Structure 1
Amino acid sequence: MAEQTAPPECTGATGAIAAEPPGPTPDVLAAGYGTAHRPDEADVQADKPDAAVVRDALGVGIAVGLSGFAFGVTAAGSGLSLLQTCALSLLVFTGASQFALVGALAAGGNPYTAAAGAFFLGVRNAFYGLRLSQLLAFPRAVRPFAAHWVIDETTAVTLPQPTRRAARIGFTVTGLTLYVLWNLTTLIGALGAGALGDTGAWGLDAASPAVFLALLAPMLRSAVERVTAGLAVVLALGLLPVLPAGVPVLLSALAAPVVLFLMGRGKWPTPTTNGTDATGERR
């Protein structure tokens, strides 16, 4: 008589074969988790309605886009022509670099030095692009056009989105709204600069950085992030009187490795395996 094969082990209801827990969903994998990572419930976010993504994107695009007026006025006050001012917004389209350029020119700096400082300040967008290219995964034909919209604001809206669809909507709506408004208000500001008199007395060159800082502040959730941002501000302000325009902002990035060094020396709480630091704050 043939040897009888033992039935498979069961758990729960009769006949239910034990199985491994399901792996991460496609959305979780798209968000950057590896196949070996099995996220907890806090890692998996519910889908965000398209209307909510559009609302957030429009809010950022409109708020920052209106500050293009300040750039138009500042550029005209720095001696740039209407064509040069509008060309900067159309072709460069990164507010920090644009303000750094016209600020250096207004201070009497060499045009080539001013352009070099603005260029290096804009290099940060390339690092944004490395992350966004994986997250958005646009078709190859679309990528050159999307690259022009890879800036601080589109990155800030795109990265927190829970799904690829929401990320694409956030990026596109923010980029389109901001590009149209920024260029329109640049034109209006450059045309109306003469009516404002001494443009330097208005301090309009601080408008765009102030708006971005207001958008960035709510994203600093952990103590490590807040300390890094605070140290970056101290470095930028401390170096501002002694270095050329644009350089202090670049050197403020040294705040990140300083904080990482302190974490490595045990001077700062390090993240645990469940995504929290030693104080229990979510990272």
Structure 2
Amino acid sequence: MAEQTALPESTGATGAISAGPPTPAAPSPAPDKPDAAVVRDALAVGIAVGLSGFAFGVTAAGSGLSLLQICALSLFVFTGASQFALVGALAAGGNPYTAAAGAFFLGVRNAFYGLRLSQLLVLPRAVRPLAAHWVIDETTAVTVAQPTRRAARIGFTVTGLTLYVLWNLTTLVGAMGAEALGDTEAWGLDAASPAVFLALLAPMLRSTTERVTAGVAVLLALTLLPVLPAGVPVLLSALAAPVVLFLMGRRKRGAVTASPEKTTETKGGRDS
């Protein structure tokens, strides 16, 4: 009696033998993050950044703004980098329109954050206008780091609420206490905003293009600062982005063009 031999599994085609690797398993969904952990992280960010509202209140008072104007900026603008840019330009004697333009262009980035957060949060239409007021660097950073939509909503809400309340309270305290502090420049509080902004920006500069763009922008701002009115160097430093992207694009196209020529030469050498 002939011995029976087990045949290999077929790949689906008649007579074909499976020789390939096994089909990889589907990726597992992102693990849930406990609500308490999300709240803890959001509170840490909200409290840490919210306390810098004190520095804004003092700096804004030193630039000549009234208490009502200072509090209105924090209540209705609520984007720290733009607020500091505005009062910094005014304190340096810059034109109010130029200062406002610089603050506006810094705040435009929040619109791009909103495009991403709208996909993650999927909030009801009625609350979107209110949520848009909290779309800033910190809420975006906390939200996009969450693994699920529930965690993203909790992170966004807790970060936004904590930061909004604390920022406005510390702004009020800083503006009211500015007279007791005296000269704000002697305390170095005018450097608080750049320090906080750089601390938030530095971890985002991951690629070579981003680092080069940031470096060129800094060089432009420092070079133009002594010769142009306050606020204008910040606006012109934005030209670093298209310049660097153009140069990097030319470099990549040159590398792609040179690569086929090199390959042709190699093949020709082998054929001969």
Instruction: Please give the range of the TM-score, normalised by the shorter of the 2 chains.
Output: 0.7 to 0.9
Tell me how far apart the structure 2 counterparts of residues 159 and 245 of structure 1 sit (CA, whole Å): 35
From the CA coordinates, give the structure whose radius of gyration is larger.
Answer: 2
Q: CA RMSD in A?
A: 3.0
Residue number in structure 1 paired with 2:67: 82
Q: Deviations over 1:18-63 (max 9, x none)?
A: xx978788x7xxxxxxxxxxxxxxxxx5443333332222222111
C-alpha contact (below 8 Å) 2:81/2:197 kept by paired residues = no
| Cα distance in 1, alignment partners of residues 82 and 145 from structure 2 | 25
Residue of structure 1 aligned with 2:36, choices 42, 48, 51? 51
Change (3 A) 1:194 1:156: same
- Say whether the 8 Å CA contact 1:82–1:190 is kept in structure 2: yes
Q: Does 1:175 align with 2:160?
A: yes
CA contact (8 A) 2:42 2:159 kept: yes
Q: What residue is the counterpart of 2:57 in the other structure?
A: 72
Contact 2:102 2:234 (C-alpha < 8 Å) held by counterparts? no
Q: 1:238 to 1:51 in 2, by over 3 A?
A: farther
User: What whole-Å deviation, never above 9, does each CA across 1:62-106 have from its counterpart, x for those lacking one?
Assistant: 111111111111111111111111111111111122112212222
Q: Percent identity?
A: 87
Q: Distance in 1 between matches of 2:235 and 2:108?
A: 10
Report the CA distance between 1:267 and its aligned residue.
Answer: 5.3
Number of the residue aligned with 1:186: 171
Residues 237 and 156 of structure 1: is their aligned pair in 2 closer, same or farther, counting only changes over 3 Å?
A: farther
SS of residue in 1 equivalent to 2:125 = coil
- Cα distance in 1 for partners of 2:207, 2:32 equals 24
Where does residue 265 of structure 2 map in the other structure? Answer: none
TM-aligned CA deviation for residue 172 of structure 1? 1.4
Show structure 2 runs of 5+ residues with no match: 1-9, 13-22, 256-272
**Correspondence for 1:143 among 119, 125, 128:** 128
In the aligned structure 2, how far is the partner of 1:148 from the partner of 1:154? 11
Structure 1 residues 219 and 124, CA gap change in structure 2 (3 angstroms): closer
What is the match of residue 238 of structure 1? Answer: 223
* Mapped partners of 2:240, 2:226: distance in 1: 19
- Which residue of the partner structure matches residue 104 of structure 2? 119
Compared CA separation, residues 109 and 69, structure 1 to 2 (3 A): same
Matches within 5 A, 1:87-106: 87-106=72-91
Distance in structure 2 (CA, Å) of the matches to 1:232 and 1:158: 28
Instruction: Confirm or deny that 1:229 pairs with 2:183.
Output: no
Call closer, same or farther: CA 1:235–1:47 in 2, change over 3 Å. Answer: farther
Match of 2:139 in 1: 154
Question: 2-side partners of 1:156 and 1:248: how far apart?
Answer: 28
Which runs of no fewer than 5 residues in structure 1 stay unpaired?
A: 1-8, 12-19, 28-44, 271-283
- C-alpha distance 55-212 of structure 1, shift in aligned 2 (>3 A): farther
Displacement after TM superposition at 1:255 (Å): 3.7
TM-score (norm 2): 0.74
Contact 2:32 2:147 in 1 (8 A): yes
Distance of aligned partners of 1:124 and 1:221 in 2 relative to their CA distance in 1, 3 Å threshold: closer
Tell me if the contact between 2:98 and 2:231 (Cα under 8 Å) persists in the aligned partners: no
TM-score (norm: length of structure 1):
0.72
* Counterpart code for 1:70: A
Q: Is the 8 A contact 1:72 1:189 kept in 2?
A: yes
Which of 170, 173, 190 is the matching residue for 1:205?
190
Higher mean C-alpha displacement, 223-232 vs 63-72: 223-232
SS at the partner of 2:146? Answer: coil
Deviations 1:187-213 (A, max 9, x none): 100111001111233231221231232
Distance 2:239 2:98 in 1: 22
Local SS of the residue matching 1:242: coil
Structure with greater helix share of residues: 2
1:3 counterpart residue number: none
User: Of 239, 250, 260, which aligns to 1:265?
Assistant: 250
